[in-house]
Chains A and B, each alone.
Chain A
Amino acid sequence: NAGVTQTPKFQVLKTGQSMTLQCAQDMNHNSMYWYRQDPGMGLRLIYYSASEGTTDKGEVPNGYNVSRLNKREFSLRLESAAPSQTSVYFCAGQGTSTEAFFGQGTRLTVV
């Protein structure tokens, strides 16, 4: 039982490159989320998925796309990376309980 697993843990991209951050959960959560964490700004919601097959924008969706492939997996795609997207990205899952479970994070640097 791994909880919420994110890959990769670290990534360096050149400006303009694309990549997909993967997230999988084995907790049967309906809701999944992608956040970014920047110094002094807490966690900001990029996109969320209330259930399989649905996705919606959060506070800072520009420059990102997501895909809820199935109940377990929720991926975040950067089509053309920019230095402003240098951040730590967290995926989270939440079921009917009050607690949201977070992955360990992906540290992304765009040069």
Chain B
Amino acid sequence: GEDVEQSLFLSVREGDSSVINCTYTDSSSTYLYWYKQEPGAGLQLLTYIFSNMDMKQDQRLTVLLNKKDKHLSLRIADTQTGDSAIYFCAERSSMDSSYKLIFGSGTRLLVRP
């Protein structure tokens, strides 16, 4: 079945890089996503990567995909206190004529001044 796993917590110092890791099981996933959730808010899409890519860069964000190992990572360069949030990895799984997003449990990123 489909499953997405992430570590629960990461703490970094302001200005350092953060790397959040994720593993998934559905090899037919076409898209993989990173969402950000700030306290009391909904989920905001940060970035996504198509399964035929192995890297995508978007300003301070770098997504790496190892399709063979079903491993996805999100690197945030020059991490700021405003980056403190929960980060969810998700894979898109097809179902009938639609899709569903399977989410990991979320990684809580704490940025220390």
A interface residues, Cβ below 8 angstroms from B: 30-31, 33, 35, 40-45, 48, 50-51, 56, 58, 90, 92, 94, 98-100, 102-105
Could you say which residues of chain A place their CB within 8 Å of the CB of B77? none
21 CB < 8 A contacts A-B: A31-B98, A31-B99, A35-B103, A42-B106, A43-B43, A43-B88, A45-B102, A48-B98, A48-B100, A50-B95, A50-B96, A50-B97, A50-B98, A51-B97, A56-B95, A94-B99, A98-B31, A99-B48, A102-B43, A102-B44, A104-B42
Q: Which residue of B lies closest to A45 (CB)?
A: B100
Q: What CA separation (Å) do A42 and B45 show in the bound complex?
A: 15
**Cβ-based interface call for B4 (8 A):** yes
In the assembled complex, the CB of A39 is this many whole angstroms from the nearest CB of chain B, namely 9
In the assembled complex, the CB of B34 is this many whole angstroms from the nearest CB of chain A, namely 12
Could you say which residues of chain B place their CB within 8 Å of the CB of A99? 45, 48
Q: What CA separation (Å) do A35 and B43 show in the bound complex?
A: 12
Q: What CA separation (Å) do A110 and B104 show in the bound complex?
A: 25
Decide if A56 touches B96 in the complex (CB within 8 Å). yes
